[in-house]
Each structure stands twice: as C-alpha cells, then as structure tokens.
Amino acid sequence: MASETEETGGAERPTTGQEALPEFRQISDAQTMRALAHPVRLALMEALGLQGPMTATEAGERIGESPTTCSFHLRQLAKYGFVEEAGRGKGRARPWRLTGIGMRLSAGEDSESELALAAVTHLFRERALTRYRTWLEGRGSYPRPWREAAEESQYVFYLTAEELDALSEELYRLLAPRFRERLTDPSTRPPGAIAVEMLVLSYPVEPAPGEARAGSPEDGA
C-alpha cells in the first residue's frame, strides 16, 4: 500500500502542463484520521494492498487476529471509505478490497486535526520502521542481488521551504506513477518481483529562521 503523510486537503497536485499523475485520496478531517489510527486497521489495509481482496478470515490468518476482530475493523474502515466489499466469495464468504491505492494526509485549520495527523503519522512510520528493522535482522537470508539492490541513503541540504516543496513535487512525479499498475494488477509483475517498500522522509533539523529553540535565551528561559 502506498501512503503519504504529507499522506493536503482537497486540492489536486498541480500538473504544471505535464502528464496527469495518479490521484491519492485527500484526507484532512480529524474524525477520519482518528478512524485510521489503529494498528489492526492499518495492518488490514497493508494486507489488502499486498495480497488483494481477502475475507476477514483470510486477513486474520495473515495479520494474526481473529476473524471477528478483522470483520469489525473492516466494517469500520468501510464506514470511512477505505475498503469495500469485493462481491461474494465462496459460500457466505465476504471478500473485502481497498477502495484506492495511496492517500495524502494533512492537518486542517484546527488543533484537533493536527493531533489526529500526528497520531496516525506516528503509527504509519512506526510500522514502516518495524518492517525496516525486520529487514536488517534478516537480510542475510536474502540472495546477494537483493542485499546489494537494497539502498540506504542519507542527505542533508540547505533549502528554503519553497525549494523543499519543489523537491518533494519532483520526487512525487518520479515515484507516484512508477510501477503503480503492479500494485493493482498482479499479472503485470515480472517473474521474481516481490513487494519492496521505499521511505522518503524530509524534515528540518534546525529551527525555522526567526524561531528560537525551546529553552534558549531568546525564549526567556
């Protein structure tokens, strides 16, 4: 499942005269973000994104939860438009599927949405970093080509807020359309392809110009 936590309410990404890019669902209201901020619900969405439609029983086997628990959380996700029923399965089975791939989260004008955004972003990133730690611990079990292909990079730039926004836009344009079809159509995946996660994080490591650090002489401490 692709997700952006930058995963800006309502407006589409500008196309700047280039080919239109895949649209992510825009979410900025606190209630919807709070509904998403639950580890079982995120696990279900990740499982559906990787495996395609599944019943509550199948999903439970994959994420280690009971079918009853999964059924409840799937219904809650459906209430907020994240999943939907995928037709009827065998017998009384009810498969579920994602309604879309990827989302863009941002805070609205109120403090409640800021808190909700912080909570769901923290949960998203903690889950991703757990998967990264699992990779580090088990990378020796992968063939050498996979060990060599896996990338770890860290960069520091001096940028203005406008330049950082432009850089993020460039990365979005590079990454968003690429291999997207393979997420939704398994038949397009070449032999040997497996799910690979890439995290792109950008954040200031110094206070903004004119802003004093907490506890510094400028803030009266």
For 83, the 3-state DSSP assignment is strand
For range 175-181, the mean pLDDT: 85
Question: Closest Cα to residue 25, out of 134, 103, 116?
Answer: 103
Res 122: pLDDT: 94
Write down all domains in the chain, each with its CATH number in brackets: 25-219 (1.10.10.10)
| Position 156, amino acid | V
Residue 37 clears pLDDT 80, i.e. is over it: yes
Longest dimension (CA), the chain: 70
For range 150-161, the mean pLDDT: 93
Residue 22 clears pLDDT 60, i.e. is over it: no
What distances in angstroms separate CA 98 from CA 47, 101, 126, one per listed residue?
10, 7, 22
The Cα 144–Cα 173 span in angstroms is 30
Q: What is the pLDDT of residues 79-132, one digit of tens each?
A: 999 999 987 656 567 899 999 888 889 888 889 999 999 999 999 999 999 999
Find out whether 74 and 83 touch, Cβ atoms under 8 Å.
yes
What is the 8-class DSSP label of residue 75?
H
Residue 4 clears pLDDT 50, i.e. is over it: no
Average model confidence (pLDDT) across the chain: 84
Residue 13 clears pLDDT 50, i.e. is over it: no
For range 170-198, the mean pLDDT: 89
Side-chain half-sphere CA neighbours of 207 within 13 A: 10
Question: Closest Cα to residue 183, out of 90, 124, 97?
Answer: 97
Tokens found for residue 2:
């692709």
Give 10 or 88, the one with higher predicted confidence: 88
Res 212: pLDDT: 56
